[in-house]
Amino acid sequence: MVRIGETARRGVSVKPAVFIDRDGTINEQMGYVNHPSRFILLPRVAEAIRLLNENGYLVFVVTNQSGVARGYFPIELVYEIHRRMEDSLLQKGAKIDGIFFCPHYPSGVINRYAVTCKCRKPNTGLIDMARKKFAIDITNSWVIGDTVSDIEMAKRAGIKSILVKTGYGLGEIEYVLPRKGITPNHIADGLFDAVCFILEN
């Protein structure tokens, strides 16, 4: 599923992109965000996204929202929360170019979404959606997230990755990365530090 802020136009130059996970990277990790009141931006997130805007990067949010398939909340809530997120960021001068999310889960209880799909991370479907809509310089693009599934998605798509310590990050670094044998290109304290690393390199 996708909510596009703006589609690519013919003749627009190719730009690098940063694909950012939502829960635990942009906002506080609270399990399932099943009400707008539970959506709380993490510190310096708006500043980080604004820096990407100012330096010519496309900014995309890529997020699994299996709570839809599991019956925890309707898909309309996901759209409502994304509107709230965009409004909160715009008030601070930060713009998201596109939001791509997966509402599926194979063993979900909502039949429409209880399917095996290509968009659930670590599959690359969400990135593929963005590439169909925007002119993206994939070689110079990045994925930032707090779980190994974000890093796996990046590797499958041939994109550099940063794992942040917010959300599930610390646990993933200590327990999951060693078991999976997966290494991100960088580990950062949070989204702002991750963006600074990208801009410095």
87 is catalytic: no
Cβ neighbours for 180, distance < 8 A, ≥ 6 positions apart: 148, 152
**Contact (Cβ atoms closer than 8 angstroms) between residue 78 and residue 65:** yes
Nearest CA to 63 out of 42, 36, 81, 88 is that of: 81
> What are the two backbone dihedrals, phi and then psi, of residue 180, each rounded to the nearest 5 degrees?
-80, -20
Distance CA 29, CA 38 (A): 9
Annotated catalytic residue, options 21, 146, 150, 193: 21
23 is catalytic: yes
CA distance between the termini of the chain: 32
Distance CA 129, CA 95 (A): 19
Structure tokens that stand for 161 in this block = 């990755």
DSSP state of 13: P
Angle CA 191–197–199, to nearest 5? 105
Residue 97 CB: number of other CB atoms within 10 A? Answer: 23
Annotated catalytic residue, options 23, 97, 146, 150: 23
**Contact (Cβ atoms closer than 8 angstroms) between residue 64 and residue 101:** yes
By annotation, the residues acting in catalysis are 21, 23
